[in-house]
Structure 1
Amino acid sequence: MEKLVKTSDEWIRTRTGIRERRMVQNGQATVDMSTNAVRDLMENYDLSPEEIDAIIVATVTPDMILPCSAALIQNNINAINAWGYDLSAACSGFLFGLESGAALIESGRCRKVIVIGADTMS
């Protein structure tokens, strides 16, 4: 990252706490990254796609307007019982997603909600 902003790594870390920045590969899209992250989550926590009730995606860089990223991810992981939606609220989007997911669980409507924050700006 120091090459991108022409400063030192130490300067960046002491002022922002950022230790690394990930860059997307050419051709990699928001849904690609999100699908990979959800697959990792399911593997690490022994979660089957059928257990997922809802998928909320916070992004300002969707691959397309329709279908929404949540629907594409739902299809990619074969979460046949899940429904979902995207929300676009820039930096606060992930927090809104967490609050929305928590509300779905607290209401008893859903048991397992996946909240994803992903953008492909690099």
Structure 2
Amino acid sequence: MSLESIALVGSQAVLGLVGVAVGGAKVTHQEDQIEDFQRFGYPQWFRILTGLIEIGAGLALLAGLVWLSEFTVAGGLLLSSVMVGAVATHIRTGDPLSKTAVPAVLFAFTAGLLIIRDVTIPL
């Protein structure tokens, strides 16, 4: 396995684990997540839904490492979509760059993963 392949697999694994972790923080009712969603003006059911989508995306990215590449596509699209929404929310609420940067970087890495993996999206 080449160094590039190892880096790609490692990046996908890390993104998958991050998706599971950040989603897990939302569905396990972490106080900072509850407060953030209140501050954003979103209902708490939306926090749970967002967390479940993030967990699903993370698991799909991890599953894509061992099974079908379609899992990578699904997980990447889900995670990057949620991160676009997170960036928009942080900008809309006037959050500092430090809070906006995390979802922006996760979006960039996830989009980059899909591009580098040369994943075609079936239409």
| TM-score normalised by the chain length of structure 1 | 0.31
Higher relative contact order (CA 8 A, sep 6+): 1
Higher Cα Rg, which structure? 1
| TM-score normalised by the chain length of structure 2 | 0.31
Structure showing the higher helix proportion among its residues: 2
Structure showing the higher strand proportion among its residues: 1
